[in-house]
Structure 1
């Protein structure tokens, strides 16, 4: 593997739980070779609250957003420093950093026919702090070409999980859940299914003062309310054909509240159980509709650590093995960060990384902006 290059991938997703960073080796042909190190740095509660506030319009928003982009760069730089220290790797050995940034708006195709997507990150500051080339703003080029700008990981999934020629589905469950469908001899397909952990995290934070439902234990203690579940599933997004993508622009507390208010009052634990069932049901419906020939469903992201959610997925997909991506060689919390390292490799070698069959763009595009060290 001596012909490979070292890349760092950095991901902070819609769960707002923190930053995942990986150091990995990728071939000069952008073929995956090895994961060398992984670091997770959680967001402090106050910082998470600041980022959450930027998910909606508010006073002095441009100022707060610019400072948040600087803070994201500093948090990312700390993760990079820790990766380099733990792996005894000098910064000069890294070809580039692929950095996602923190999504605060995602509205492709809206308003003026192009729309926009915003991931907060001062890429110039990150390059300055790390002395490493930085590739970021990886979604905007696809949006400019008429695409959704998301999901971007199916091409990476194909290289990692599609080598054996089996039809396979991969679901990443972060704040939002996104599905990849792999079939031999075909380009990957993929789209956002709907909420992943976002609504569950909101509800348990409101009622239990916890950032997330560990193992899904709280949800497991409640009863699913079928009437509430039906109202939640009545959301038009679930019936919208792909290509499609979504985020906290749609699935946020003020989406949930009127649907709760439309029925009888429920115990908070029963709402949590129903929100967990919503995530499982939306994913399972999409898998049955779009990947009926899949031999397994691989799960990554924080949702893969939610034992109750995994059980509900398996219950809704009888006969289809539901497994974490660990079983295919890449731990669940490292897949997305590794994908952004791979996207950086594609950018520095001037290779298109967008897949029109996934995003709906007019054609494949080279993704990302480069900030040289």
Structure 2
């Protein structure tokens, strides 16, 4: 049956596929004039296996054979994003004419904010998404911030501040996607945001290699082992972890070859490596949080890692005195929070408002993000 929507408010549709490339999250939302975000409907569209394999390989530094192959992959990704949007509208029984705009993140294949010149690259042509959906599409959000001297990431802290900030406490939001990233929101309105290091991308890849499963359901594989102190110390010694914000990263830095380079032939079981990778995520998140927001008392969790009770438990062990909650307890679905954020960014772009936060990305100033592709 049709989904109930407020006929007085436009709908926005957000599309997001992150570092894990485990599916395209599509979220349909409305933004009440009094503030907040009303989640209407969500759907996750699966990648074709061959496309996902190509995207993961590219994200880890592989090269394509030709420009033709790159162009075709860009079109293929856009077609998949458009299919995700169209499926969402069909499932929600919503007329596409009710949707003011789509905000599409695209699929990151390279992120080099420290290169000279710096660049970031997301596939998924917004022209094609607009053409196949018949809806105005805002895409390519990150590159304007990079052009202004920023990292182009993370982009969610502005959305987190607008939706989850509180005047009575210092609060942090942790997205446990392929990469973990934090938004640190002070009660005084100050905000900082940055990537803390690997999360699901490494856990999923190691599980796929040794269990033949796309992810570690409920953290059972990690729970079957014990983290290795020596390996954990070697992984944590990676120089990137000591860099001050602003900072961002991706599969091009944290991948299985990176893990193998630290194993050094050590006789560690696959389960113990999985447990150590999980502990690496918990440790680096806790280190970053306590360094940059030491008075934090509440940590809101979102992203696929929320479904990993072993990871959440280890985070809690390293953060005594901090209340850990799902973003769902504050009205925002943890599975679709980033997709909702890109719907919000599309709204900000159409309204002529900046979508970045220079204090987060390091850009020279506020910038209107993304390219608008009219329906």
TM-score by length of 2: 0.95
Among 170, 183, 191, which residue is 1:188 paired with? 191
SS state at 1:68 partner = helix
1:354 aligns with 2:356: yes
Q: How does 1:173-252 map to 2 (within 5 A)?
A: 173-252=176-255
Matched-pair contact (CA < 8 Å) for 1:3–1:28: no
Structure 2 vs 1, CA of residues 28 and 120 (structure 1 numbering), >3 Å: closer, same or farther? farther
* Counterpart secondary structure, 2:111: strand
Mapped partners of 1:177, 1:50: distance in 2: 22
> What SS class does the counterpart of residue 15 from structure 2 fall into?
strand
The one-character-per-residue Cα deviations of 1:273-307 (angstroms, maximum 9, x if unpaired) are 00000001000111111122122111110111111
- How many residues were matched structurally? 369
> 2:45 maps to which residue?
41
Partners of 1:5 and 1:27 within 8 A in 2: no
State the shift of 1:81 in Å. Answer: 1.4
Q: How far apart, CA to CA, are the structure 1 residues paired with 2:37 and 2:301?
A: 21
Q: RMSD in angstroms over aligned alpha carbons?
A: 1.5
Cα distance per residue 1:229-285 (max 9 Å; x no partner): 000000011100001111111101221111011x62211110000000000100011
Q: CA deviation at 1:202?
A: 1.1
Native 8 Å contact 1:54 1:65 kept in 2: no
Q: Distance in 1 between matches of 2:211 and 2:321?
A: 35
Instruction: Decide which of 340, 348, 366 is 2:368's aligned counterpart.
Output: 366
SS at match of 2:226: coil
Residue 82 of structure 1 is matched in structure 2 by 87
8 A Cα contact 2:142 2:369, kept in partner = yes
Deviation of 1:57 after TM superposition, in Å, equals: 3.5
Runs of 4+ in 1 over 3 A off after TM superposition: none
For 1:99 and 1:165, how far apart are their aligned partners in 2? Answer: 33
1:338 aligns with 2:340: yes
Q: What is the CA distance between 1:24 and its match in structure 2?
A: 0.5
Aligned residue for 2:15? 10
Q: Which moves more between the two structures, 270-279 or 38-47?
A: 38-47
Superposition deviation, residue 2 in structure 1: 5.5
CA distance in 1, matches of 2:317, 2:142: 34
Asked if the contact 1:26–1:345 (Cα under 8 Å) also holds between the matched residues in 2, the reply is no
Distance 1:61 1:220 in 2: 43
Looking at structure 2, the residues matched to 15 and 61 of structure 1 have their Cα atoms a distance apart, in angstroms, of 24
Quote the Cα distance in structure 1 between the aligned partners of 2:210 and 2:55. Answer: 20
Deviation at 1:133, TM superposition (A): 0.5
Distance in 2 between residues matched to 1:333 and 1:265, nearest whole Å: 37
Find the counterpart in structure 2 of residue 328 from structure 1. Answer: 330
CA–CA distance in structure 2, aligned partners of residues 186 and 249 of structure 1: 33
Partner of 1:133: 136
1:120 equivalent in alignment to 2:120: no
What whole-Å deviation, never above 9, does each CA across 1:199-221 have from its counterpart, x for those lacking one? 11111111111111011100001
Return the offset for 1:318.
Answer: 1.0
CA distance in 1, matches of 2:100, 2:188: 31
Gaps of 5+ in 1: none
**Compared with structure 1, are the counterparts of its residues 93 and 153 closer, same or farther at alpha carbon in structure 2 (3 Å cutoff)?**
same
Asked whether the 8 Å contact 2:167–2:188 carries over to 1, the reply is no
Indicate the SS of the match to 1:228.
helix
Deviation at 1:185, TM superposition (A): 2.8
Alpha-carbon distance, 1:63 to partner = 2.5
Distance in 1 (alpha carbons) for counterparts of 2:9 and 2:213: 42
